[in-house]
Amino acid sequence: HYTAPVSRLKTLLRERLVECGWKDQMHMLCRQIVKERGVDIKVDELLAEITPKARASVPDSVKKELLQKIKIQLTQDARSRV
Protein backbone atom coordinates (compact mmCIF):
# COMPACT_ATOMS: atom_id res chain seq x y z
CA HIS A 1 0.00 0.00 0.00
CA TYR A 2 2.92 2.39 0.52
CA THR A 3 5.02 1.36 -2.45
CA ALA A 4 3.03 3.27 -5.09
CA PRO A 5 3.00 6.62 -3.23
CA VAL A 6 6.66 6.27 -2.26
CA SER A 7 7.58 5.41 -5.82
CA ARG A 8 5.70 8.48 -7.10
CA LEU A 9 7.48 10.71 -4.58
CA LYS A 10 10.88 9.31 -5.56
CA THR A 11 10.10 9.87 -9.23
CA LEU A 12 8.99 13.44 -8.53
CA LEU A 13 12.16 14.10 -6.54
CA ARG A 14 14.36 12.77 -9.34
CA GLU A 15 12.52 14.89 -11.90
CA ARG A 16 12.83 18.07 -9.83
CA LEU A 17 16.53 17.51 -9.16
CA VAL A 18 17.18 17.08 -12.88
CA GLU A 19 15.06 20.13 -13.77
CA CYS A 20 16.89 22.45 -11.39
CA GLY A 21 20.33 21.27 -12.50
CA TRP A 22 21.20 19.65 -9.17
CA LYS A 23 22.02 16.30 -10.76
CA ASP A 24 24.43 17.94 -13.22
CA GLN A 25 26.06 19.90 -10.38
CA MET A 26 26.61 16.71 -8.39
CA HIS A 27 28.02 14.95 -11.44
CA MET A 28 30.51 17.79 -11.95
CA LEU A 29 31.41 17.78 -8.25
CA CYS A 30 32.10 14.03 -8.36
CA ARG A 31 34.30 14.48 -11.42
CA GLN A 32 36.18 17.30 -9.66
CA ILE A 33 36.77 15.19 -6.54
CA VAL A 34 38.00 12.24 -8.62
CA LYS A 35 40.28 14.57 -10.55
CA GLU A 36 41.73 15.97 -7.30
CA ARG A 37 42.02 12.69 -5.39
CA GLY A 38 42.72 10.34 -8.26
CA VAL A 39 40.83 7.53 -9.92
CA ASP A 40 41.74 5.16 -7.09
CA ILE A 41 39.30 6.90 -4.73
CA LYS A 42 36.90 4.39 -3.22
CA VAL A 43 33.17 4.82 -3.78
CA ASP A 44 32.61 5.01 -0.01
CA GLU A 45 35.11 7.86 0.25
CA LEU A 46 33.49 9.71 -2.64
CA LEU A 47 30.05 9.28 -1.08
CA ALA A 48 31.29 10.44 2.32
CA GLU A 49 32.68 13.60 0.76
CA ILE A 50 29.80 14.43 -1.55
CA THR A 51 26.76 13.50 0.58
CA PRO A 52 26.81 16.51 2.94
CA LYS A 53 27.34 18.88 0.01
CA ALA A 54 24.62 17.17 -2.02
CA ARG A 55 22.06 17.36 0.77
CA ALA A 56 22.88 20.99 1.52
CA SER A 57 22.51 21.99 -2.12
CA VAL A 58 18.99 20.66 -2.71
CA PRO A 59 16.95 23.78 -3.49
CA ASP A 60 14.44 24.88 -0.85
CA SER A 61 11.68 24.87 -3.46
CA VAL A 62 12.24 21.16 -4.07
CA LYS A 63 12.30 20.41 -0.34
CA LYS A 64 9.08 22.37 0.21
CA GLU A 65 7.27 20.70 -2.68
CA LEU A 66 8.23 17.21 -1.52
CA LEU A 67 7.33 17.98 2.09
CA GLN A 68 3.91 19.23 0.95
CA LYS A 69 3.34 16.07 -1.12
CA ILE A 70 4.38 13.87 1.82
CA LYS A 71 1.97 15.69 4.16
CA ILE A 72 -0.87 15.27 1.65
CA GLN A 73 -0.10 11.56 1.32
CA LEU A 74 0.02 11.06 5.09
CA THR A 75 -3.30 12.87 5.47
CA GLN A 76 -4.88 10.68 2.80
CA ASP A 77 -3.47 7.54 4.43
CA ALA A 78 -4.81 8.58 7.84
CA ARG A 79 -8.28 9.26 6.39
CA SER A 80 -8.40 5.91 4.61
CA ARG A 81 -7.74 4.08 7.89
CA VAL A 82 -10.69 5.65 9.68
- Tell me, what CATH number does 18's domain have? 1.10.246.140
Query: How many structural domains comprise the chain?
Result: 1
CA distances from 5 to 12, 31, 55, 68, 79 (A): 11, 33, 22, 13, 15
Tens digits of residue pLDDT in 64-82? 999 999 999 999 888 887 7
Tens digits of residue pLDDT in 37-60? 999 999 999 999 999 999 999 999
**Of 60, 57, 63, the residue nearest 24 (C-alpha):** 57
User: In a 3-state reduction of DSSP, which class is residue 23?
Assistant: helix
φ/ψ of 52, rounded to 5, equals: -60, -40
Radius of gyration of the chain (CA): 17
Question: Domain of 76?
Answer: 3-81
Cα atoms found within 13 Å of the Cα of residue 64, Cβ hemisphere only: 3
Please state the pTM of the whole predicted model.
Answer: 0.82
Mean pLDDT for the stretch of residues 13-27: 98
